[in-house]
Structure 1
């Protein structure tokens, strides 16, 4: 797509219109950055505004509503423009109010007409004169939390029932913090200490992850544009997402099935531990498997990876029983552990999605169960934090398959498991993604 401006605020409005229609924010942001000539400061402002408005959408909707006579008749881009102004006023300390008003009014005329300019100007001055409605005045507690943290009421209620009010409150408070930039060092090419030393010399601030032994938290620049990334010395991955493979105790000659592999972070993590072994990576979309191969090639582990365009529920079509030493099922899920990194998920998902996905998760486990050797392990993981997709799926699977038992999920940094041995990471625990990992051993 061609863009007719390099104005970060206007580009933010255009991007928000597309994401509100169902496009993924990270893909849209990357496309804009690659297709324009914004400088580093403008790229930062643009990204901050887009993610900020999405993160705080329910808050901003509540605050704007009293100033719109007829919200349904207000064009969507005008609302997004006003949200960008409100976000800057509320959350960005360094941007002067006059600059925000001037830029917003200019954009309203450029994207609309003089009538739009007058409309936007009037609302901005009303907000300035009257002030925003107070969230504290909302009487219902769940509604108040929903507006305060911009999380749907159904999800808050579900988490309160499953985790209790104090834990839910801690999770909600953590969700709108900026996500950390974390990478996994590529064990096939470099050691962790070597990489950390080289990153420091190159001007990055680095810290060893407190979640995964493979992880490094980085500050001081965009690592994706660095030679470290291009040369395959590291790959971008959340700290929690490294744990499923870390828990697997891989031997160099293992045959491993990665039942749901794209985009390949865990596939390549497995492959980095293999020499004469092999990881068979499945996905239902061939274009996603191309991404897996690209990542494996960049990281120098392509010889250890074999891809198959296949639904994991149909593994009987390709693979023999008891063929694999280990199987990873990083199952398709609601993604509710990723709300900090992918904020639009909170508005896209419904309780019905959770129910539907839990059935798919069970179908995948049932299909792959015969393919692991006796004594082998199925590692089941998700990036969600609700019981229906995690403990409930595992409990039902073990009930149906008494030849499997839950084993303690082991991590290098010995993270706390619950009494059953399952590992549950919540977004507030380490300010990483929410994740669930369970080890299912096939008994003799």
Structure 2
């Protein structure tokens, strides 16, 4: 793939994601495998798409003086400007003149002479005069909104919940690359052996402090490695690994995973029980339930059964008190995973949080009776919003006096987390800037 067609692909993806609401990670993966991109080209395409999305509003602010007179700009033209200015401002590998030349050539191919002259004019202005300064924005919160390209409603909400400093740290972290973390299948390989093998093959890796099965890849495109393809390793964020670690699992337990796709936590739970328990997994979509089965097969785990179902109706499938452990990794706003899915911050609205909370409450109400006495239920989300986390926990406890937050949960947390800022009497909130993970919440209830 030439650099020219690579940037055309980037423009196509950005326009689709930005205008039609496509999922960035899905479309990117699809494009990389469809074009059979080399490691280097795949990395550059990812960098341009993610970087432009992450900093869209900042770039828009930067070029305002040069586009203000233009009445109507077509979406693809705007995205071509955004991605070109992103490369000129944040990437050092490609000289400005090459970026401008390619942008003009792409615009000639897609539009008319007027458009290519406009693009050439804007980009030459950026090259000669630079971009406008953020210093002119006096209000620090308003400046943060523009500088980190986060919607106003979201920043205002986080400031109210966590204060300006934590909000600033979260917003800044969301614009930085999330390191890839992997989990070993411990019935097939030890973490030490996997890491040694990867180091020998030139990868830079380090242990995760959040799971004895986890490690972080600091350098190298590990997903092409045989260990990955042969089912010794699986991709999972460290925050997500913490879930199975905190389920307090033993062999021969019967476990329910109520919202299981794509299967990272499901398979981890099976591994924690040495594949000698029973994990019943459900997902609302049949296609996604099949992904869970595929993941189990890939990791050679036989104790998992995955099926399609709405987990708000599971009492029709299982009698009261059926399970020793239940995991509800609830559908949520996803505001903790903006580093890997930057498009979420532009597509989500504040009202989505309240709609999702209703579903979270319904799911908790439905699965609670399926737990045995003295059984444990872990509730987790990949968001940092208190309405979906601490407030959901309090609401559940108010409605279910036979449940309480399990005090031993806090003592079992990995030592570095025990004195962290995210601990409350409701559970643990992981922030993206503190542990270089996704933003993530989890807690554990015990049934009296």
Matches within 5 A, 1:404-423: 404-408=403-407, 409=409, 410-413=412-415, 415-416=417-418, 418-420=423-425, 422-423=427-428
Matches within 5 A, 1:208-219: 208-219=207-218
Equivalent position of 1:441 in the other structure: 446
Equivalent position of 2:239 in the other structure: 240
What is the CA–CA distance in structure 2 between the aligned matches of 1:318 and 1:187, rounded to whole Å?
Answer: 32
Q: Secondary structure at the match of 2:387?
A: helix
Kindly indicate whether the alpha-carbon contact (under 8 Å) linking 1:5 and 1:11 is maintained by their aligned counterparts in 2.
no
What is the CA–CA distance in structure 2 between the aligned matches of 1:125 and 1:96, rounded to whole Å?
Answer: 13
1:281 aligns with 2:281: yes
What is the CA–CA distance in structure 2 between the aligned matches of 1:171 and 1:209, rounded to whole Å?
Answer: 21
Equivalent position of 1:337 in the other structure: 336
Kindly indicate whether the alpha-carbon contact (under 8 Å) linking 1:211 and 1:430 is maintained by their aligned counterparts in 2.
no
Shift of 1:442: 0.1
Kindly indicate whether the alpha-carbon contact (under 8 Å) linking 1:184 and 1:235 is maintained by their aligned counterparts in 2.
yes
Q: Secondary structure at the match of 1:94?
A: coil
Alignment match of 1:17 (pick from 15, 18, 21): 15
Kindly indicate whether the alpha-carbon contact (under 8 Å) linking 1:184 and 1:236 is maintained by their aligned counterparts in 2.
yes
What is the CA–CA distance in structure 2 between the aligned matches of 1:432 and 1:69, rounded to whole Å?
Answer: 39
Structure 1 residues 269 and 114, CA, compared in 2 at 3 Å: closer, same or farther?
same
Structure 1 residues 412 and 252, CA, compared in 2 at 3 Å: closer, same or farther?
farther
Shift of 1:377: 0.5
Structure 1 residues 278 and 71, CA, compared in 2 at 3 Å: closer, same or farther?
farther
Equivalent position of 1:39 in the other structure: 38
Kindly indicate whether the alpha-carbon contact (under 8 Å) linking 1:213 and 1:412 is maintained by their aligned counterparts in 2.
no
Matches within 5 A, 1:353-392: 353-392=352-391
Q: Secondary structure at the match of 1:397?
A: helix
Q: How many residues align?
A: 440
Matches within 5 A, 1:187-336: 187-274=186-273, 275-301=275-301, 303-336=302-335
Shift of 1:142: 2.4
Q: Secondary structure at the match of 1:256?
A: strand
Kindly indicate whether the alpha-carbon contact (under 8 Å) linking 2:257 and 2:282 is maintained by their aligned counterparts in 1.
yes
Q: Any idea what the Cα deviations from partners look like across 1:214-259, whole Å, max 9, x if unmatched? A: 2100133222222111111110011111111110111110100000
Equivalent position of 1:104 in the other structure: 103
Structure 1 residues 186 and 413, CA, compared in 2 at 3 Å: closer, same or farther?
farther
What is the CA–CA distance in structure 1 between the aligned matches of 2:347 and 2:157, rounded to whole Å?
Answer: 16
Kindly indicate whether the alpha-carbon contact (under 8 Å) linking 1:174 and 1:427 is maintained by their aligned counterparts in 2.
yes
What is the CA–CA distance in structure 2 between the aligned matches of 1:111 and 1:177, rounded to whole Å?
Answer: 32
Shift of 1:413: 4.2
What is the CA–CA distance in structure 2 between the aligned matches of 1:115 and 1:72, rounded to whole Å?
Answer: 13
Kindly indicate whether the alpha-carbon contact (under 8 Å) linking 2:209 and 2:414 is maintained by their aligned counterparts in 1.
no
What is the CA–CA distance in structure 2 between the aligned matches of 1:349 and 1:259, rounded to whole Å?
Answer: 24
Q: Any idea what the Cα deviations from partners look like across 1:199-228, whole Å, max 9, x if unmatched? A: 112221110013332210013322222211
Alignment match of 2:436 (pick from 431, 435, 438): 431
Using the TM superposition, name which of 54-63 and 39-48 deviates more: 39-48
Structure 1 residues 288 and 144, CA, compared in 2 at 3 Å: closer, same or farther?
same
Shift of 1:268: 0.6
For the aligned residue pairs, the C-alpha RMSD in angstroms reads: 1.7
Give the gaps of 5 or more residues in structure 2: none
Q: Secondary structure at the match of 2:272?
A: coil
Kindly indicate whether the alpha-carbon contact (under 8 Å) linking 1:338 and 1:433 is maintained by their aligned counterparts in 2.
yes
What is the CA–CA distance in structure 2 between the aligned matches of 1:72 and 1:386, rounded to whole Å?
Answer: 38
Kindly indicate whether the alpha-carbon contact (under 8 Å) linking 1:65 and 1:71 is maintained by their aligned counterparts in 2.
no
Q: Secondary structure at the match of 1:260?
A: coil
Shift of 1:55: 0.3
Q: Secondary structure at the match of 1:388?
A: coil
What is the CA–CA distance in structure 1 between the aligned matches of 2:423 and 2:33, rounded to whole Å?
Answer: 44
Using the TM superposition, name which of 192-201 and 320-329 deviates more: 192-201
Using the TM superposition, name which of 186-195 and 16-25 deviates more: 186-195
Q: Secondary structure at the match of 1:387?
A: coil
1:394 aligns with 2:396: no
Matches within 5 A, 1:89-168: 89-168=88-167
Equivalent position of 1:77 in the other structure: 76
TM-score of the superposed pair, with normalisation by structure 1: 0.95
Shift of 1:87: 0.2
Using the TM superposition, name which of 34-43 and 17-26 deviates more: 34-43
Structure 1 residues 72 and 382, CA, compared in 2 at 3 Å: closer, same or farther?
farther
Shift of 1:414: 5.3
Structure 1 residues 411 and 186, CA, compared in 2 at 3 Å: closer, same or farther?
farther
Structure 1 residues 315 and 36, CA, compared in 2 at 3 Å: closer, same or farther?
same
What is the CA–CA distance in structure 1 between the aligned matches of 2:246 and 2:332, rounded to whole Å?
Answer: 20
Shift of 1:370: 0.4
